[in-house]
Amino acid sequence: MTATSTAPATPAAPIDRGRPRRPAALVAPGPRATRLAANLVLVVVGLCFLLPLGWIVLASVDAQATLTVGLPEALTFANFSAVMTPEQTWVPLANAFLLSAGSGLVTVLASVLAAYPLSRYRMRFNKPFLYAVLFGTCLPITAMMVPVYSLFVRLNLLDSLPGTIFFMAATALPMALWMTKNFMDSVPVSLEEAAWTDGASAMTTLRRIVLPLMRPGIAVVFIFVFIQAWGNFFVPFVLLLSPEKQPAAVSIFAFFGQYGSVAYGQLAAYSMLYALPVIGLYVLVSRLSGSGFSLAGAVKG
Amino acid sequence: MTTLAPAPAGARGPEPSAPRRTHVRRDARRLVPLVPAVVLLALFMLGPVVWSFYGSFTNAALTGPAAANPEFVGLENYANLLADPDFPKSLWLTVLFVIASAVVGQNLLGLGLAMLMRSAVGPVRAAVSTLVVAAWVLPEIVAAFAAYAFFHADGTLNALLGGVGIAGPDWLFEHPMLAVILANVWRGTAFSMMVYSAAIAEVPPEITEAATVDGASAVQRLVWVTLPTIRRSISTNLMLTTLQTLSVFTLIYVMTGGGPGTDSSTLPILAYQEAFKFAQVGYGTAIATVMLVIGAVFSVVYIRSLKPEVD
């Protein structure tokens, strides 16, 4: 049985019939076997990726969750209701929203303003600045956190939400600026030239003509920054000290430290509540830009 | 990355022939919208970098007199760094982590998945790519919890091994580096897979067809046709995954805390521990400075490879 399905038992016939069709079957000699093998390998890899993910989903609805993935014997939403209290979940999620939306807004505003002259005028300043920005996209931010901490102590910005928002905005800015400039470059200049001859200023054309045309691009940049900030653990972990200011990433870590070794179900439920918004946003951003590859494409340049 | 749009300068008067001073003044006026971005970058990106170099020459501490008035100690932190057995170990662990999980793991698996996806049936392709991307989209700390549960002594991996009669070890204590490397491959492969899928889709089919007609096998086509055609994507992706992996903190911190001992303390973890656990901010800053320099070297190489796209 297995031998016949993997290796063709009658070699003469398929070759005779296959010859004229050869250019169509470009995958490999014995395309069906190759396809089967490719699919099998993919299914195995997919299962390896599924197991850790599946644990979060299944443990969150399991009344007796353990660290091992398994179908729950009794479905329950008790884990969710146990963590859905103001101080446990809602305040940290609100803080996370404040941090992410705040840094998203600051980043988008700063990068739109900066991208306009960089995209529209050919200046001697452009090239060194763009190189510096590109360099900034590459800097390992986690490497900076110790000096950032002592700098924030000096500037009296430690445990300050605005300070953290501006820092996160600044770290996201190089990439956002790069993306925004690329989106702006694709808006044709001819439309603005008409407005300029009518006497409109650069800022007016930016607001009235360029921005409406690149609305999806701006949404992509905002969501990109938002997702990054929402998932950022290390920056608020170092810069925000009082629990009532900390976002979900930090409070979920505190929960893990306190109850992580007993209340697996609740940890998983909290993880779900915290992760769902960014998964939704990711789906939205892939719709906005037509394909799921947009973020990688934007990063790739 | 398109090139700069043609400057619309001509639309606003006879500027090319204008004298130099008005040229400078016009440029200065046009640069005003850049001010917020420049201030943000100077204060929160350049500031910490400069501060990092400065702080690494002081004995700054979290508490005590050295916290209020750090003294200039010259190269003492760097001398301690070289004398400290933890530092070379941590450097080696970082290199191991980056090469095994990013350069080899994510890139090879990503390329392999991208190739396999092309000959897979629709539902399999959709399901597998969704799963791979899901691990990447999840917030890092949630991914770290999932990986922690997977590799824990009572976790899924050992349950699976137990199912076939193997008593699995306590991965997080006995093989911490292996666990965090595999976890980082699991988490980061999606990026490489998407980059390579996009790159392979742009390989002109005529070339592969011609190679097939000439009798090239699948492996020969991969090595001699596909890989050389997408070499730009490969080098870009290698640099980006290296830089991303160099600064991974949360995944390792949650899974092993850098331990047992310092057996999985890569440089970001070591800098954090020295600065905040042992209160040696100056020493932690010296480690941070070393990391910044390493990151800067990689960035320069990466930017040089992108140069034609900025110009």
In order of start, what are the domains of chain B with their CATH numbers? 76-310 (1.10.3720.10)
The CA-atom distances, in angstroms, between B132 and each of A48, B126, B186 are: 10, 10, 8
For residues B242-263, average pLDDT: 90
Q: How many CB atoms lie within 10 A of CB B166?
A: 10
The answer to whether A196 contacts B43, with C-beta atoms less than 8 Å apart, is no
Sign (positive or negative) of CA dihedral A29, A35, A36, A40: positive
**Helix%, strand%, coil% for chain A, nearest 5:** 75, 0, 25
The CA-atom distances, in angstroms, between B120 and each of A168, B31, B50, B111, B300 are: 40, 51, 51, 14, 39
Q: Which two tokens stand for residue B111?
A: 């390329």
Confidence (pLDDT) at A25? 42
For residues B239-267, average pLDDT: 90
pLDDT per residue as tens digits for the range A263-284: 888 999 999 999 999 999 988 8
A164 confidence band (pLDDT: 50, 70, 90): very high
Residue A38 contacts B, CB cutoff 8 Å = yes
Q: Which two tokens stand for residue B133?
A: 């991307």
Chain A residue with minimum CA distance to B27: A123
- Going from N- to C-terminal start, the domains of chain A cover 2-76, 80-300
Cβ atoms of B41 and A136 within 8 Å: the answer is yes
Confidence (pLDDT) at A13? 38
B17 confidence band (pLDDT: 50, 70, 90): very low
A5 pLDDT more than 60? no
Alpha carbon distance A241, A95 (integer Å): 13
For residues B138-164, average pLDDT: 91
Confidence (pLDDT) at B9? 40
Cβ atoms of A271 and A264 within 8 Å: the answer is no
Which is more confident, A131 or B70? A131
Confidence (pLDDT) at B18? 52
Cβ atoms of B265 and B93 within 8 Å: the answer is yes
Confidence (pLDDT) at A100? 96
The string of DSSP codes covering A169-195 is: HHHHHHHHHHHHHHHHHTS-THHHHHH
Whole-number CA gyration radius for chain A: 26
The answer to whether B209 contacts A41, with C-beta atoms less than 8 Å apart, is no
Confidence (pLDDT) at A18? 39
| Torsion angle in degrees (nearest 10) through CA of B22, B25, B26, B27 | 130
Can you name the CATH fold of A80-300? MetI-like fold (1.10.3720)
A142 pLDDT more than 90? no
Q: Which of A4-8, B148-152, B255-259 has the lowest mean pLDDT?
A: A4-8
| Torsion angle in degrees (nearest 10) through CA of A199, A202, A204, A210 | 120
Number of alpha carbons in the 13 Å side-chain half-sphere of residue B74: 2
Alpha carbon distance A254, A87 (integer Å): 12
For residues A49-58, average pLDDT: 92
Q: Which two tokens stand for residue A127?
A: 């090239």
Residue A279 contacts B, CB cutoff 8 Å = yes
pLDDT per residue as tens digits for the range A172-224: 999 999 889 988 888 888 888 888 888 888 888 888 888 888 888 899 899 99
Best-predicted range by mean pLDDT among A9-18, B13-22, B115-124?
Answer: B115-124
How much of chain B, in percent, has pLDDT values that exceed 90? 36
Residue-averaged pLDDT of chain A = 82
Residue B214 contacts A, CB cutoff 8 Å = no
Nearest neighbour of B48 by CB, restricted to A26, A125, A144: A144
The answer to whether B51 contacts A151, with C-beta atoms less than 8 Å apart, is yes
The answer to whether B137 contacts A35, with C-beta atoms less than 8 Å apart, is no
The answer to whether A129 contacts B146, with C-beta atoms less than 8 Å apart, is no
- For residue B146, list chain A residues with Cβ-Cβ distance below 8 A: 52-53, 55-56, 271
Confidence (pLDDT) at A260? 64
For residues B191-209, average pLDDT: 88
B73 pLDDT more than 90? no
Alpha carbon distance A130, A67 (integer Å): 47
The answer to whether B5 contacts A264, with C-beta atoms less than 8 Å apart, is no
B67 pLDDT more than 90? no
The answer to whether A231 contacts B55, with C-beta atoms less than 8 Å apart, is no
A22 pLDDT more than 60? no
B58 beta partners: B72
Nearest CA-CA distance, residue A140 and chain B, Å: 5
The answer to whether B146 contacts A52, with C-beta atoms less than 8 Å apart, is yes
Residue A111 contacts B, CB cutoff 8 Å = yes
Which is more confident, B54 or B308? B54
Alpha carbon distance A46, A44 (integer Å): 5
**Cis, peptide link before residue B260, omega less than 30° from 0:** yes
Q: How many CB atoms lie within 10 A of CB A175?
A: 22
B285 pLDDT more than 60? yes
Residue-averaged pLDDT of chain B = 85
CB contacts < 8 A, A to B, total: 329
pLDDT per residue as tens digits for the range A214-244: 888 899 899 999 999 999 999 999 999 998 8
A147 pLDDT more than 60? yes
For residues A252-263, average pLDDT: 82
Which is more confident, B219 or A241? A241
Alpha carbon distance A265, A129 (integer Å): 49
Nearest neighbour of A170 by CB, restricted to B7, B44, B218: B44
Q: What is the ipTM of this complex?
A: 0.84
Please provide the distance, in angstroms rounded to a whole number, between the alpha carbons at the two ends of chain B. Answer: 11
